[in-house]
Structure 1
Amino acid sequence: MFQFRRMKKKSKPEVNMTPLVDVILQLVIFFMVTTTFISIETGAQVNLPTAEFSQLGEAKTLTVTITEDNRLFINGSFVTWEDFPNLLVVELRKEPGATVVIEADKNVLHGRVVQVMDILKRAGAQKMAIATRPPEKE
């Protein structure tokens, strides 16, 4: 005859979280690797003077910055006026023939820029350029 089978209790449905966590983790890694990072330059903020024409080739450059309050920076690193000539010689030996770009705030006295140019020449700089920004178009 017929036998009745006892039905097993069905367990509650579960969602396996392991694959979901794996996918989320891989998405986070993907976005971290492909994100473009904006580099924020620390150092001196300089308000450059404007000029109609400025040109600098793709040559090696060394940047000397003079801020409005007469602080000096070499490639974005602060230096004292006393250490400036010695550090300049070291940097110029690393990059022989480099063009030294002077970024002087437009409010820096002309005499200060000439003083820096004189120190550059004594340190062995062969080529110098003064950084400007293009005029704003109206």
Structure 2
Amino acid sequence: MRLFEEEDSPLELNILPMIDVIFSILAMFIITSIFLTRIDSLPVNLPKANSATPQKSTPVTLTINPVGAIAFNRQPVELENLEPLILQQQQLNPELVVVVNADEQVNHGRVVEVMDLLRQVEGVKLAIATQKKQ
């Protein structure tokens, strides 16, 4: 006597675990890429210029926010204390480039005051950060 046998069902590929793995890898890639971007300065609205070009060196950033407060490499600092910090950085890097990130709403006199102090330090190169016009 022959018993009733079940038909062989076709093999199926369950892709749900594979989708979970792919989304996990994608999430790790996104999170890692966020941490790889380097932001040296505080967020300010930079003025726009046609001649803006990216710099290849790792400069020291000096940020001036809209109210005129100064930050040296993201650390708040007073104008009087800025020169010793610049000299200290210059000892580590003789070809020091200081990039001034001044908000476009900052009083022009404040920017000139900071630039004047930076120009008095011998051997320091000065750059002003801008955005490329679109």
* Greater displacement, 112-121 / 50-59: 50-59
- 1:103 is the counterpart of 2:101: yes
Equivalent position SS for 2:94:
coil
Equivalent position SS for 2:71:
strand
Question: Aligned residue for 2:14?
Answer: none
CA change 1:61–1:109 in 2 (3 A) is same
Gaps of 5+ in 1: 1-26
For residues 54-90 of structure 1, give each alpha carbon's deviation from its aligned partner in whole angstroms, at most 9, with x where no partner exists: 1244134111111111111112222122311221211
> Identity of counterpart residues, as a percentage?
31
Detail structure 1 runs of 4+ shifted over 3 Å in the superposition: 30-35, 39-43
TM-score by length of 1: 0.65
Question: Aligned residue for 1:36?
Answer: 32
Equivalent position SS for 2:114:
helix
For residues 85-119 of structure 1, give each alpha carbon's deviation from its aligned partner in whole angstroms, at most 9, with x where no partner exists: 22121122222112211110001122111111111
Question: Aligned residue for 1:23?
Answer: none
Q: 2:62 aligns with which of 55, 61, 64?
A: 64
RMSD over aligned CA atoms reads 2.6
Question: Aligned residue for 2:113?
Answer: 115
Aligned counterparts, 1:84-103, within 5 A: 84-103=82-101
